[in-house]
């Protein structure tokens, strides 16, 4: 297996291989995505072709050069989608809610994409991604695109390349992108930086747990969903949630937007119209208050800073002379130097003009 071209690798000039010219031929759809160039994949993704978009996301997920080239071509076409994050504790009904939300947005003739994140096993690196089980009635709807992603070591409730995936889906013209996070506790809230609107899902009977989650999660929600409202204890939980939302007033992120608390019974679709209305109202609020630009700037900043971090560290290791890293590790081991001095030397070597 050849080593994938990493983010940090120097751009390669790509020879026009026979495979590529063949894929450009008339019967491209039959030829399959496997042999398409990044430009071609991007072009077809822009036309809404799911297999092309899916392949780009896969390439990006694997940090392959072709994926990055494709994203560069797609990126200018994005910026129209409403990105909605759905977060909350494990088993709260997030996937069931997403399923119901897809149905309601489809009823409103919106095209919907979903990024559903589940954790990778820290032991094997593998994962079982089961969110989409609850959404399969939409599998063959051409206006719906569901992509499961494994975290691949990323903390924060999202996958390593959720930002990239959402950029692809955005450029493909999906009106709404629903992002289901892994079932989270408190401070895994990357989704807030990705989404325009973040919905926090709670369920009855959390009791003392609400105290546990209030610190992080309640402060970031743009709307709150009390799902499983058919379960006992809904009234009590709603009372507690209202109290806590009341406490957070004054430190509102979007001045002038009161985060609603909505009850749902996701498998029955109860309360879903109200959730979609609230998401839309929040987006409109953002639109009229400069919030979209602000969110886009936050997202861009986060995306950019992470990439620089990644590219820079890869460049450092790529530049390190053969054996230098091993030598420094040995020096640290023998306490001839300390880890800070060693790291500074490696970085300084990269910053030297070559």
**Residue 149 CB, nearest distance to ligand GTP (Å)?**
12
Q: Which tokens go with 172?
A: 């493909």
Binding to ligand GTP (CB under 6 A) within 132-151 occurs at 134
Q: Give 128 or 343: the residue with its C-beta nearer to other proteins.
A: 128
Going by the DSSP 8-state scheme, the letter that residue 130 receives in this structure is -
Is residue 204 within 8 Å of 234, Cβ to Cβ? yes
Q: Which stretches of the chain bind other proteins, using CB under 8 A? A: 1-2, 4, 6, 29-34, 50-51, 54-55, 57-58, 62-63, 120-121, 123-130, 132-133, 136, 139-140, 145-148, 150
Asked if residue 36 binds Mg ion (CB under 5 A), the reply is no
Nearest to 224 by CA among 238, 212, 205: 238
CA 317, CA 247: separation in Å to the nearest integer?
Answer: 48
Is the four-CA dihedral 130, 135, 140, 145 of positive or negative sign?
A: negative
Beta bridge mates, 224: 200, 261
- Min separation Cβ 183 and ligand GTP, Å: 3
The answer to whether the beta carbons of residues 331 and 346 sit under 8 Å apart is: no
Site string (121-140) toward Mg ion, x via CB under 5 A: ----------x---------
Tokens of 318: 């790529």
Q: Considering beta carbons, is residue 29 or 336 the nearer one to other proteins?
A: 29
Q: Identify the three-state secondary structure at position 210.
A: helix
Taking the complex as a whole, how short is the minimal distance between the CB of residue 99 and ligand GTP, in angstroms?
8
Query: Are 174 and 145 spatial neighbours (Cβ–Cβ below 8 Å)?
Result: yes
129 binds, among other proteins, ligand GTP, Mg ion, none (CB under 5 to 8 A by kind): other proteins
Six token digits for residue 114: 């979903």
Q: Choose the contact partner of 125 out of ligand GTP, Mg ion, other proteins, none; CB within 5 to 8 A by kind.
A: other proteins
Handedness of CA 323, 152, 86, 208 (dihedral sign): negative
- CB-neighbour burial class of residue 141 (10 A; exposed 0-12, middle 13-18, buried 19+): middle
Q: Which of 266, 276, 278, 320 binds ligand GTP (CB under 6 A)?
A: 266
Angle at 114 between CA 113 and CA 120, to 5 degrees: 145
Contact letters for Mg ion, residues 90-119 (x by CB under 5 A):
----xx------------------------
Instruction: Give me the least distance between CB of 290 and other proteins, in Å please.
Output: 35
Rounded-to-integer distance, Cα 38 and Cα 275, Å: 38
Q: Which stretch binds ligand GTP (CB under 6 A): 17-25, 169-177, 234-242, 265-273?
A: 265-273
Interaction of residue 226 with ligand GTP, rule CB under 6 A: no
- Residue from 5, 63, 95, 166 touching ligand GTP (CB under 6 A): that is 95
Q: How far is the CB of 314 from other proteins (least distance, A)?
A: 10
CB of 178 to ligand GTP, least distance (A): 12
Neighbour count for residue 257 (Cβ, 10 Å): 18
3-state secondary structure of 270: strand
29 or 231, CB closer to ligand GTP?
Answer: 231
In whole angstroms, how far apart are CA 332 and each of 298, 322, 336, 338, 347?
Answer: 38, 17, 6, 5, 16
The angle formed by the CA atoms of residues 47, 179 and 39, to the nearest 5 degrees, is 30
Q: Which does 91 bind (CB under 5 to 8 A by kind): ligand GTP, other proteins, Mg ion, none?
A: ligand GTP
265 binds ligand GTP (CB under 6 A): yes
91 binds ligand GTP (CB under 6 A): yes
- Using CB under 5 A as the criterion, which residues of the chain lie in contact with Mg ion when the complex forms? 94-95, 131
- Using CB under 6 A as the criterion, which residues of the chain lie in contact with ligand GTP when the complex forms? 90-96, 131, 134, 183, 227-228, 230-231, 265-267
């Amino acid at each position: 297996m050849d080593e994938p071209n990493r983010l940090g690798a120097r751009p390669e000039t790509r020879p026009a291989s026979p495979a590529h010219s063949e894929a450009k031929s008339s019967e491209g759809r039959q030829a399959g995505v496997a042999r398409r160039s990044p430009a071609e994949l991007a072009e077809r993704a822009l036309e809404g072709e799911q297999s092309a978009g899916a392949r780009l996301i896969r390439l990006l997920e694997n940090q392959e050069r072709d994926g990055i080239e494709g994203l560069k071509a797609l990126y200018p076409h994005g910026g129209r989608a409403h990105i909605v994050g759905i977060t909350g504790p494990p088993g709260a009904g997030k996937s069931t809610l997403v399923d119901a939300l897809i149905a309601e947005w489809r009823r409103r003739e919106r095209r919907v994409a979903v990024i559903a994140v589940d954790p990778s096993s820290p032991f094997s690196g593998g994962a079982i991604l089961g969110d989409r089980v609850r959404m399969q009635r939409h599998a063959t709807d051409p206006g719906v695109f569901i992509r499961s992603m494994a975290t691949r070591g990323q903390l924060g409730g999202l996958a390593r390349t959720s930002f990239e995936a959402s950029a692809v889906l955005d450029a493909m013209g999906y009106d709404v992108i629903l992002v289901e996070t892994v079932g989270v506790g408190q401070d895994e809230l990357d989704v807030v930086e990705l989404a325009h609107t973040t919905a926090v899902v709670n369920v009855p009977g959390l009791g003392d747990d609400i105290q546990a989650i209030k610190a992080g999660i309640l402060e970031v929600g743009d709307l709150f969903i009390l799902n499983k409202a058919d379960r006992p204890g809904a009234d009590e939980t709603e009372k507690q949630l209202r109290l806590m939302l009341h406490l957070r007033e004054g430190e509102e992120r979007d001045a002038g937007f009161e985060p609603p608390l909505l009850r749902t019974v996701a498998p029955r679709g109860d309360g879903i119209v109200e959730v979609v209305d609230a998401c839309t109202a929040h987006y409109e609020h953002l639109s009229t208050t400069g919030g979209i630009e602000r969110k886009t700037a936050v997202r861009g900043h986060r995306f950019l800073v992470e990439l620089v971090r990644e590219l820079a560290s890869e460049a450092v290791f790529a530049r390190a002379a053969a054996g230098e890293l091993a030598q420094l590790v040995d020096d640290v081991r023998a306490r001839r130097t300390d880890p800070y001095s060693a790291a500074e030397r490696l970085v300084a070597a990269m910053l030297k003009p070559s």
